[in-house]
Amino acid sequence: MFITFEGVEGSGKSTQIKLLENHLITKGYNTLVTRQPGGSILGKNIRELILDPEQQDKPSDLAEMFLYLADRSHHIETIIEPALRSNVLVLCDRYIDSHLAYQGYARGFDLEKLQLLNSIATKNIIPNLTIVLDLNPEEGLRRVRYEREQEVFDRIEAEKIEFHQKVRNGFLKLAEKSPNRIKIIDASNSLEQVHHHIINSFEQLLVKK
C-alpha cells in the first residue's frame, strides 16, 4: 500500500507520519517512510535548491515546477516503486497533490498539464490513501516559528499568506474531486485526536481492499 500525507506548512505531517509508522510496526507491517522532495540523495540536493532562502540564484516558478518533477521521477524510480514491489507499505510526506496545490492552485500553472507531467514522472502510481491535514495557514506558520524558536523560514514558507491560503484551498478542491482517496482531517485538533482519525482512515482502507 502507498499512503501519502499532504497539508499546508506546519500542519503536522512529519509527526503524524511517525505516529502512524509506529502503529503499523506494532501491527506487523513492513514500512518505509520517505518524503518529496528529499527522499533520495539526489532529492536532498534538489530540496536544497528549491528551499534555501539564502540562495542567490533562486529558481523561477517554472524551474521550481520542473525541479519538483525531477525529484518525483527519480524518487519513484529508485525508492517508491522498488518498495511497493517488495510489498512494503510506503508512507510519503508530500506527493502529486502538493504539486497540484502549490504549483497549480497557488502558482497558477495549468492543472491538466501538471497532471499529465506528473503521470509521466510517477508512471501513474497513485496512492491508495491520501491524508490531508487541514489547518489555517496562519496557525501552521505560527507552529513552524514556535518549533524552530526563530523567525527563519525556507523559501516556500516565506511566501505571502495569500499564497498559503491558495494552497489550502487547492487541497480542499482536490479532496472534493477524489473523495474516495483523499481524506481531510482537521489538524487543529489534539495530536492524539488527529492520530485517531488517521488510524480510522487506514482501517477503512483495509476494509475496501
Alpha helices in 55-190 (DSSP H): 61-75, 81-85, 96-99, 111-122, 137-148, 161-177
Query: Among 45-54, 105-114, 144-153, which is the least confidently predicted range?
Result: 144-153
pTM of the model: 0.94
Mean pLDDT, range 161-187, rounded to an integer: 97
Average pLDDT, the chain: 95
Convert the pLDDT of each residue in 14-29 to its tens digit: 999 999 999 999 999 9
Judge whether residue 174 has pLDDT over 80: yes
The CATH fold assigned to 2-208 is: Rossmann fold (3.40.50)
Judge whether residue 150 has pLDDT over 80: no
Angle at the Cα of 42 (from 62 to 140), degrees rounded to 5? 65
pLDDT of the residue at 83? 98
Cβ-in-10-Å burial (0-12, 13-18, 19+) of 209 comes to: exposed
Report residue 172's pLDDT band, with 50, 70 and 90 as the boundaries: very high
